Amino acid sequence: MDLPVAEQAEQKRPSLKADAISKLIQASSGQEQALYVLLAATGLRISEALAVEKRHFINGGRTITVEQQVEKDSARIVKYLKTAAAKRQIDLHPDIAEYLQRYGAGKTGLLFHTANGKPHLYGNLEDRWLTPRLVKMGLDEEGMGWHSFKRFRKTWLRGSRCLEDINNFWMAHKPQTCQRSTRIFTRNCDYASMKQNEWATDSLFRVLMLALLYRLSRIAPK
């Protein structure tokens, strides 16, 4: 097709580290803080995260249904996603679920919205929230933006377990053996159900919470 060759090694795809995620969370509050927590803990695309509504929390608040997104250049919700496989359900660690339930208490509709109730444009939020904080932390570089949260989650998971597929893998109860469990964490909605005690004992997300929720319980969302 005479297309240019894409050299992966030359592509700018920086990822945030766990300590940077923790600093972003601790330095922020309200909608900004909750957005950082949601993105880092779930791997949602920013367009998907900004379209999450209270009704999308099911299973006692422990699961998020992803079925819509915010258009790139328009403050409106659309019912299609980037790919067909992007329609999915994502289970939350109990601590994350509790935090988001406290944040969303009394809210209706969108979890994140402007003063007049419209969806945020993620480009505006990047300029207003994320980029200034990254500059202050000395981490602003080409390619560092909202996608760096998604890369953080994938990079962290890839380095923490032997995975058959980063988007479709068996959770291991015993870190040393990578023994298959009865719970599959997947992008496919058909598999998105899980017993709370299985999730609570999973060491993978317990370690992640150490990075994401350091002293977070003392920070009251506004």
> What residues does each domain of the chain span?
14-213
- CATH class of the domain whose range is 14-213: mainly alpha
* 3-state class (DSSP) for residue 166: coil
DSSP state of 3: P
DSSP state of 130: I
> Could you tell me the pTM of the whole model?
0.70
* 3-state class (DSSP) for residue 49: helix
Phi and psi of 114, rounded to 5°? -75, 180
Distance CA 150, CA 147 (A): 5
Please report, in tens digits, the pLDDT of each residue of the chain (222 residues total).
555 554 554 555 688 888 899 999 999 999 999 999 999 999 999 999 999 999 999 999 999 999 999 998 899 999 999 898 899 999 998 989 999 999 999 999 999 999 999 999 999 999 999 999 999 999 988 889 999 998 887 766 555 543 333 333 333 333 333 333 223 233 333 333 333 334 434 444 555 565 566 556 555 565
Q: Quick count: other Cβ atoms within 10 Å of Cβ 211? A: 18
Cβ–Cβ under 8 Å, residues 196 and 62: yes
